Amino acid sequence: MADCTGYRVNDTTARRNASSRGSMLGSLRGRLVLLLVLVTAAALAASALMVGLFRQSASARAAQAETEIGRACDTSAGAYRFYSTGWRGPSSPSDTKTLRRDLNAVVQTALRERPGIEGGIWQGSAGSLSYAFPTYQGAGPKTDVPEAELPRIRAVNRSALADERAVATRFEGSTQILLIGACPLPGPIPGLTAWTMTRVFTFAGSGYRLLMAGLGILLAMVLAAAALLARLTMRWPRHIGQIEATLRTHDIAALPILPTTGERELDRIVVALNEAGGRLADARGRAEEMARQLASGERLATIGQVAAGLAHEIRNPIAAMRLKAENAMVHGPDHKDRALAAILGQIERLDGVLRRLLTVTERDTPRVETVVLARFVEACIAAHSELAQAKGVGIRCEADSGSADFDPDQMRSALDNLILNALHAAPRGTEVFVTARRNAEGVILSVCDRGPGPPAQVREHLFEPFVTSRADGTGLGLSIVREVAEAHGGAARLDISPTGTIFEILIPWQ
């Protein structure tokens, strides 16, 4: 505002910039997508764990099978030693046939209690001398060495014969692990080895079927969860978007009836919004009714206030005129001239009250002109120089160079009221300072005096009609100031400081 100590008024304009920040808490769709990713990752991890456990199980079974073929080979060696007592080797074809029959009996005896293990007797120079697979589950007995594994069988037997110790070899395929073991057979016939063979199926059998069933169930559950999450991801944002669009296209004071969505949790919110809309409509109706009643009461109170003010303003001059007339009638013709002069003065006072009241109520449209500020302010204070001299108060002005656009007659009436109030309030020996200055907002006309200002109890209503702190005041002067300022799109304001009182009229740039 202003400071009367230097008779300069400094403007302070406070500007605040509001910044909106979105809360990055994540949308419902983002959370559902994240949940879908987590479910898929959990399913993949569980699948990998199941496959890993199955493979570990297959490795364990392969190690057990390797132990079993080693024992079967030892059993074959023990049976061979039992049957070979007294053998001298074949000397004729009939002896060879008998030898092969006996060797078949050795292998049959050794592998009879070994499920899934096949084997035979091998001679380095002659090849396979016997073969048996007593636990074979086919339609008939299996009597021939598997041709596909024959090179591997030959290699394992050669290795066992060359090293003169038992050996075992593992061949891993895509669906099975082939295990072949061999051990040398000391005895009357040189170059003999016993060999055994078995297979461990990694992706077959009951374990594989259980694994596939578990993975299938897991895949079905993941697909069901993915479908449900995808449905929620698509449906919920669409429903929320429809609700948002419906609310955006309606007045907030009259909320629309939102349709249900079929989603139980979301429909609870929809029902709550519909109920809130109904309560809001009822409250709005009651508020409008109360507002009408309040407006009616305020109008009646305003009419009563205006009537009381007018009655007060009119009654005093009428009482004075009656007193003067009664005195003239009592004292004779000598007092008639003075009584008539006093009566005319009171009539003029009543006429002034009515003129001011009309000024407040008519609200004429300003006739805007370009006015030189310095010349305008000097003309205003010139009309009050005699009154200021009579009250012992100085009056001076200061104006920025340049001009402004406003109605000079209306603004002159408003500024006259401010100057008259300042002259009545200023203590004798002080000055009333009138300024006109330009800034970025517009033009500010101010009147500053060293008086204490109006009492605190009337400051909030100071610019209303018939509000005054002076015994001889009408209470219309400051209301005229406010009406003139608002007619120009501006405002009138008061500032009380320890150094004085300042009334301002702000006229924005046209």
Sign of the C-alpha dihedral computed for residues 129, 134, 135 and 139 taken in this order:
positive
Fold of 29-207: Beta-Lactamase (3.30.450)
305-356, pLDDT tens digit by residue? Answer: 666 556 655 665 676 677 777 777 777 676 777 777 777 766 776 776 666 5
Decide if 195 contacts 69 (C-beta within 8 A).
no
CA dihedral 420, 426, 429, 432 (to 10 degrees): -60
Q: How high is the pLDDT of residue 18? A: 36
Q: Which amino acid, residue 306?
A: V
User: Is residue 474 predicted with pLDDT exceeding 60?
Assistant: no
With bands split at pLDDT 50, 70 and 90, how would you rate the model's confidence at 235? confident
Average pLDDT over residues 447-471: 73
Residues 184, 229: Cα–Cα separation, whole Å: 65
The model carries a pTM of: 0.38
**Strand partners for 117:** 198
Residue 444: strand pairing partners: 437, 506
pLDDT digits (tens, 9 = 90+) for 382-422: 878 888 888 899 999 999 888 999 988 888 888 888 888 88
What are the boundaries of each domain within the chain?
29-207, 364-508
Residues 451 and 79: their CA atoms lie apart, in Å, by 136
Q: What is the CATH number of domain 364-508?
A: 3.30.565.10
CB-CB contact of 491 with 507 (8 Å): no
How confident is residue 510, by pLDDT bands cut at 50, 70 and 90? confident
